[in-house]
Amino acid sequence: MKQIIFRLGKKPAVFDSRTLRFGSYLAAQLPPPPPSVNYGKSVPTWPMYLNDQYGDCTCAAAAHMIQNWTANAGREISPTDQDVLNFYEHFTTPGPDNGCIMLSVLKYWQSTGLAKDRITAFAQVENKNTIQAQDAVSMFGSLYIGIELPDFAVNSANMLDVPWVVSPQGPVGDAAPNPQNGHCVPAVAYDQRNLYVVTWGAVKSMSWQFYTTYADEAFAVLSTDFLKSGRAPDGFDLAQLKADLAEVGKVPSNRASIIRRRS
């Protein structure tokens, strides 16, 4: 039996003052999100997308989101391994194994696309806010999550078998978040106990406590692949978001405040 190699590849989070905030577009009296949703059940198989060869998790996650959106819209589109590699190589000079910044991937995905599939917009979800995370998944089909895995989660021959739950002693020692173990996964389902994310060609459960402890960034991603007729869900102000996007585009990059999280 071939041994599976598990690679990571998310670089430390970068925060840009121009990034729109998801909570700014939610209605003040928005009802609670559904107690559970499962969009991932519409996808029969999840490719590895070369994350056993390269640190391309940020790009593999994008391809998995395209699969998820299009499958739920009635006709699944699965980017090829070569599509993902071509996308990944845009961020990796001189060789395709340097990892990526999630924000850079989102900006390029919006401007250029992965296999010609471009997203409409993205907005940052408030850190540790589980209600916003549920809103993002239920409204837009997925959540683009960056996590700083603890050492206990990566020091295993089969990282898929390691439960993504918080250690009883808390996030200390080998259970502390480690920026060197950056990984990116898309959530495609949740219930009261867990988020369900796609990683290394499989769906893996992540407890909500694990999410609030180890996720250092998360984004709601809007795609016409998922939004029927371009119509946003009730309670989300898509028109205002598009207007704000137009204004953001007028701000020169040298006037934006960009903060790199220290590793």
Render pLDDT for 162-177 as a digit per residue (tens, 0 to 9): 999 999 999 999 999 9
**pTM of the entire structure?**
0.93
Residue-range definition of the domain harbouring residue 146: 14-246
* 251 falls within a domain: no
- pLDDT (tens digit, 9 = 90+) per residue, 194-210? 999 999 999 999 999 99
- Asked if the model's pLDDT at residue 30 lies above 70, the reply is yes
* 28 falls within a domain: yes
* 101 falls within a domain: yes
* 45 falls within a domain: yes
* 213 falls within a domain: yes
- Asked if the model's pLDDT at residue 7 lies above 80, the reply is yes
* 105 falls within a domain: yes
* 126 falls within a domain: yes
Domain count, the chain: 1
- pLDDT (tens digit, 9 = 90+) per residue, 113-142? 999 999 999 999 999 999 999 999 999 999
DSSP string, the chain: -PPPP----BPPPEEETTS-BGGGGB-TTPPPPPS-EE-GGG-S----TTTTTSS-HHHHHHHHHHHHHHHHTTS-----HHHHHHHHHTS-SSSS-S-B-HHHHHHHHHHT-BTTB--SEEEEPPTT-HHHHHHHHHHHS-EEEEEE--HHHHSSS-GGGS-BS--TT-S-GGGS--GGGEEEEEEEEE-SSEEEEEETTEEEEEEHHHHHHHEEEEEEEE-TTTSGGGPPPTTB-HHHHHHHHHHHTTS-GGGS-EEEPP-
* 257 falls within a domain: no
Residue 257: pLDDT band with limits 50, 70, 90: low
Q: What is the CATH number of the domain that holds 158?
A: 3.90.70.10
* pLDDT over 90 percentage in the chain: 81
